[in-house]
Structure 1
Amino acid sequence: MRVFVAGGTGVLGRRLVPRLVARGHQVTATTTSAAKLDLLERLGAEGVVMDGLDPMSVGEAVAQARPDTLVHQMTAISVTHAGKPDMKHMDRWFATTIRLRTEGTDHLLAAAEATGVRHVVAQSYGGWNGLREGGWVKTEQDPLDPYTGTAAQPGMEAIRHVEDAVVSAGGAVLRYGWFYGPDAMDDLTAPLRKRQFPVVGGGTGHCSWVHLDDATDATVLAVEQQVRGIFNIVDDDPAPASEWLPHLAACAGAKRPLRVPTWLARPLAGEVAVRLMTEGRAFSNTKARRELGWEPGHPSWRRGFEEALAGRGAGGGGRA
């Protein structure tokens, strides 16, 4: 197939493009920087500079590629685009990504309709943002938590927009868990090594993780099978912060995380971080296993963290 990857130089796009090429697909991939066109060429794609927030730029890029399938992986969460992670002010940290998930999604879908694209696959998120009611592990039938009145609300509204728009257009939405793996660990390990990433309260909030390679595999399956609907792309091991955070610290060669009461964490880290750590809901991958035939090669973050951070203890530097 001809596949158009919007966001081809992102942390997932850099894995997805060569995987699709290796499976015989003709790939056009976008970047916001002409300096990265050489990277896309090395990955096997035809690169194109595109501004995902400019409808003319998007329309021209898609029309020229004339793809069978369009994959929406546009975000701006990296330090280069958004600065250091800031859970207390997620609305500011995610400002451009929010626009890419609202305006950018609309531009891509309009271009897809105008060009006759048959299928769309889009990125969503399912790590700790399940509805904070009932059990700790949610399915695709359970709504996401809107985080009303918090700094996360605009981001959650943007996620809902992606899901509603793409599913209505007959496409597939992949709710990836919290990414880990090469190029995706520094934002987690750096504050741990400085003891700036504590367990809040009892650490009872649950989270789902997914290795970048497994997320890539699931995306390839969604593209090739032309599936529709929402799929949770997470590993087999949803777990509370009281388990995964100390284990991550140990794998990173850091001291055991401090424990901070909620009353102290709230003014320091913000309401979102407190809810994530104490009330977060994780996700089940049963549907993805059953309908996509997907099976994570890294079934648990426990072994996955160890492998991703092997040899990168307290003295390690650079990107994990």
Structure 2
Amino acid sequence: MTDTLIERTPLSLLLTAADSPFGLLLTQRLVAAGHQVAGLTATTDGAAHVRAQGGLPVYADAIRQGELKSLIAMRKVEVVINLSAQAHNHIPLRNAAWDTDALEDTASALIAAASESGAKFYLHTSFAFVYGDHHGAWVDETTRPTPGDQPLLRAALRAEMQARAASIPSCILRLGFLYGTQSPELHALYDALRLNRPMLAGAGIANWVQMEDAAEAIRRAAEARIADGIYNIVDSAPASSAAFLTTFAAGLGLRPPMSIPAFAGRAVLSQHQLDLMKQSVKVRNARAIEELGWTPRFASHVAGLEDTFLSWRAMTVPMIS
């Protein structure tokens, strides 16, 4: 699908978690493409950040259907984008405050509100890790997920099922682990490396996507509005979290940290993060490339991290020397 087919038809969009680092980047991308973005925020500081990216900050609880319904109707929203859980979909080397109930509750409230207030499309962002452990084998959108007994994967898949059962057209994007210049978790990882803190890194193959590439995929999906589509939004070079950490440390001129024994992992990471690092699966992105016309600018975490380092060095107050 070419840009000329899907771009530049102005849309009215509602974006949850718009004041998160990834949400702010996506807001900027959508506004730059000519769209009107109403961004959910919970604080005055968050509202200021959304406004600085060209969005309209709005206050509503993402799990309160009535508030969302009124907002969608008032703004004449055409496309609702659920970004709520992506703030936790970062590098698994850092802890994440996953809320499995919120995954389902947010999807339920947004879908019901969108369906009852005139929205035309619901875009649900999910996670590439929902496929579960496939022992390093390649999978694609036709592969049946195997969540096992992991509560996080089961909740994420139930949220996807709600999107697929929506009474309005919808699609699902399964994003790899997010990282990039704006990532607070990368900043925290840098600080931990400088302090030579030991870390736990998994050998299982994981799937990654640089934030800018993920934002571009969401923009294209919102514009294309392909009903019932499921798309893997990942780069083309799956790699373990241990490999990611090694690349990150080397690019900063730092030594890889000492490893934490696996039995001590619970002292620094939640069970959800530990489970994610045990998985090993290679996720294909061919369908998104073919049907959305999307190609990751950063084909691997190596290329994505190189760009991150360049951006950090170019900051007014450089992150790194």
TM-score (norm. length: structure 2):
0.82
What residue in structure 2 maps to residue 308 of structure 1? 308
Cα pair 1:183 1:319 within 8 Å, conserved: no
What residue in structure 1 maps to residue 125 of structure 2? 123
Greater CA drift, 261-270 or 180-189 = 261-270
Return closer, same or farther for 1:29/1:199 CA change in 2, 3 Å cut-off: closer
Residue 194 (structure 2) pairs with residue 167 (structure 1)? no
What residue in structure 1 maps to residue 114 of structure 2? 112
Return closer, same or farther for 1:269/1:101 CA change in 2, 3 Å cut-off: closer
Cα pair 1:186 1:319 within 8 Å, conserved: no
Structure 1: how far apart are the matches of 2:297 and 2:205? Answer: 21
Cα pair 1:8 1:30 within 8 Å, conserved: yes
Cα pair 1:237 1:299 within 8 Å, conserved: yes
What residue in structure 2 maps to residue 59 of structure 1? 69
Structure 2: how far apart are the matches of 1:59 and 1:311? Answer: 39
Structure 2: how far apart are the matches of 1:35 and 1:134? Answer: 44
Return closer, same or farther for 1:171/1:35 CA change in 2, 3 Å cut-off: same
Residue 234 (structure 2) pairs with residue 234 (structure 1)? yes
Structure 2: how far apart are the matches of 1:291 and 1:232? Answer: 11
Query: 1:99-142: per-residue Cα shift (whole Å, max 9, x none)?
Result: 3321111111111111121111111111x453323543321122
Structure 1: how far apart are the matches of 2:275 and 2:151? Answer: 16
Structure 1: how far apart are the matches of 2:256 and 2:264? Answer: 19
Greater CA drift, 262-271 or 185-194 = 262-271
Residue 158 of structure 1 and its aligned partner are, at CA, apart by 2.3
Structure 1: how far apart are the matches of 2:192 and 2:138? Answer: 27
Letter in 2 for 1:214: D
Greater CA drift, 134-143 or 216-225 = 134-143
Cα pair 1:6 1:74 within 8 Å, conserved: yes
Residue 40 of structure 1 and its aligned partner are, at CA, apart by 2.2
What residue in structure 2 maps to residue 81 of structure 1? none
Return closer, same or farther for 1:13/1:279 CA change in 2, 3 Å cut-off: closer
Cα pair 2:201 2:242 within 8 Å, conserved: yes
What residue in structure 2 maps to residue 182 of structure 1? 181
Which residues of structure 1 form unaligned runs of 5+? Answer: 79-83
What residue in structure 1 maps to residue 298 of structure 2? 298
Return closer, same or farther for 1:64/1:239 CA change in 2, 3 Å cut-off: same
Alignment: residue pair count: 298
Query: 1:122-167: per-residue Cα shift (whole Å, max 9, x none)?
Result: 11111x453323543321122334251xxxx332222112211112
The alignment partner of 1:75 has SS state of: helix
Letter in 2 for 1:48: V
What residue in structure 2 maps to residue 139 of structure 1? 140
Residue 22 of structure 1 and its aligned partner are, at CA, apart by 1.8
1:30 to 36, 40, 52: 40
Structure 2: how far apart are the matches of 1:33 and 1:266? Answer: 32
Cα pair 1:253 1:312 within 8 Å, conserved: no
Return closer, same or farther for 1:311/1:250 CA change in 2, 3 Å cut-off: farther
Letter in 1 for 2:98: F
Which residues of structure 2 form unaligned runs of 5+? Answer: 1-10
Cα pair 1:131 1:142 within 8 Å, conserved: no
Return closer, same or farther for 1:164/1:20 CA change in 2, 3 Å cut-off: same
Letter in 2 for 1:287: R
Residue 189 of structure 1 and its aligned partner are, at CA, apart by 3.2
Structure 2: how far apart are the matches of 1:147 and 1:191? Answer: 32
Letter in 2 for 1:40: V
Structure 1: how far apart are the matches of 2:30 and 2:135? Answer: 39
Residue 247 of structure 1 and its aligned partner are, at CA, apart by 1.2
Return closer, same or farther for 1:270/1:63 CA change in 2, 3 Å cut-off: closer
Letter in 2 for 1:65: R
Structure 1: how far apart are the matches of 2:267 and 2:26? Answer: 39
Residue 38 of structure 1 and its aligned partner are, at CA, apart by 2.7
What residue in structure 1 maps to residue 49 of structure 2? 39
Residue 104 (structure 2) pairs with residue 94 (structure 1)? no
The alignment partner of 1:106 has SS state of: helix
> Root-mean-square deviation (CA), in Å?
2.9
Return closer, same or farther for 1:99/1:34 CA change in 2, 3 Å cut-off: farther
Structure 2: how far apart are the matches of 1:38 and 1:100? Answer: 25
Alignment of 1:199-218 (within 5 A): 199-200=201-202, 203=203, 205-218=204-217
Cα pair 2:127 2:176 within 8 Å, conserved: yes
Return closer, same or farther for 1:210/1:77 CA change in 2, 3 Å cut-off: closer
Structure 1: how far apart are the matches of 2:263 and 2:48? Answer: 50
Structure 2: how far apart are the matches of 1:226 and 1:133? Answer: 30
The alignment partner of 1:8 has SS state of: coil
Structure 2: how far apart are the matches of 1:281 and 1:110? Answer: 33
The alignment partner of 1:16 has SS state of: helix
What residue in structure 2 maps to residue 154 of structure 1? 151
Cα pair 1:5 1:72 within 8 Å, conserved: yes
Q: Percent identity?
A: 24
Structure 2: how far apart are the matches of 1:191 and 1:258? Answer: 11
Letter in 1 for 2:237: D
